[in-house]
Amino acid sequence: LIILLKKQLIKLTISGIKKKCQQILWKIGCWNLIQNDRDDDKFVDCAIASNADAIITHDKHFSILKNISFPSVKIMDVSEFKTSCIP
């Protein structure tokens, strides 16, 4: 999982993601935006709480976020990321 945060790439290990998400979710709660795969919700919640610029993923479950206006979470695949963010 890669989260684009204020134009800086953050690549986290699974254990690092779980630990950071647990800390954040304890403070802000859960949005429950991904109906088809509840296990993905923690990544969206973490992105919302950290005010991330985007989530870069190929996971099709995240595409539902393109249809949700609030809270806004930009979803990109790797090719979109390369085109828009890497000079």
Query: pLDDT tens, position by position, for the chain (87 residues)?
Result: 555 555 455 555 556 666 666 665 555 557 788 878 887 888 888 888 778 888 889 899 988 888 888 888 889 988 888 888 766
At 35, the amino acid letter reads Q
Q: What does the pLDDT read at residue 1? A: 53
In three-state secondary structure terms, 82 is helix
Q: What does the pLDDT read at residue 48? A: 83
Q: For the residues of 18-74, what is the DSSP string, one character each?
A: HHHHHHHHHHH------SS-GGGHHHHHHHHHTT-SEEE---GGGGGGGG--SS---
Q: What does the pLDDT read at residue 28? A: 57
Report the candidate in 43, 54, 51 with the shortest Cα–Cα distance to residue 21.
Answer: 43
pTM: 0.62
Token pair belonging to 38: 């509840």
